Amino acid sequence: MIILASSSPRRKELLLFLTNDFKVYPSEVKEIIKPGLTIEEVPGYLARLKALDVAKEFPNNLVLGADTIVSIDNEILGKPKDRQDAYNMLRKLSGKTHIVVTGFCLTKENKTKTYTNVSEVTFSELSDEDINNYLDTGEYIGKAGSYAIQGKSAVFISNIKGDFFAVMGLPLSQLHQALKEFE
């Protein structure tokens, strides 16, 4: 059985593509970014913290931790604090390409391995009306970068180079291969 160290409904939904044999047990670890990490290293680092935290409770199970960040111009766009913060993020993403980095970590007994996936997402130009109509849906709440690729903001995305599922929160193909290393 896999223990998913995440409360993300999207990760749970995605993991169901690979197995029904899992349990959700969210990590309570504080997501503090260690100084000196590159943007590409941050999600893997946080995923590892989460996996190792939950593994203490489930020492004989395979634990999966994951984290996703959105970044543009070397700035990490986290989850918005409020509507204005979300507006500012979407304005920064408008008409530009940004990266989405998803890291995941698998750990069982004495084996721990971290994986990273980087995708590029390009937004079309967004008008104030586009942004405000989207913000009115409330979908941005709790979403890194203030959007969900699988949701109503999909209409903003003019191009994606990489793994759609990684942008959603869990790179399924990469995870499928990684799970074989832990059989």
The catalytic site residues sit at 67
CB atoms within 10 A of CB 54: 23
In this structure, what are the phi and psi dihedrals at residue 20, rounded to the nearest 5 degrees?
A: -100, -10
Output DSSP code: residue 37.
-
What is the C-alpha to C-alpha distance for residues 172 and 164, in angstroms, rounded to an integer?
A: 9
The residue assigned the tokens 């998803």 is: 102
Beta strands in the chain (DSSP E): 2-4, 22-24, 62-72, 75-77, 97-108, 111-123, 157-161
Q: How many helices (H) and strands (E) are present in the chain, helices listed first?
A: 6, 7
| 8 A C-beta contact, residue 10 and residue 43 | no
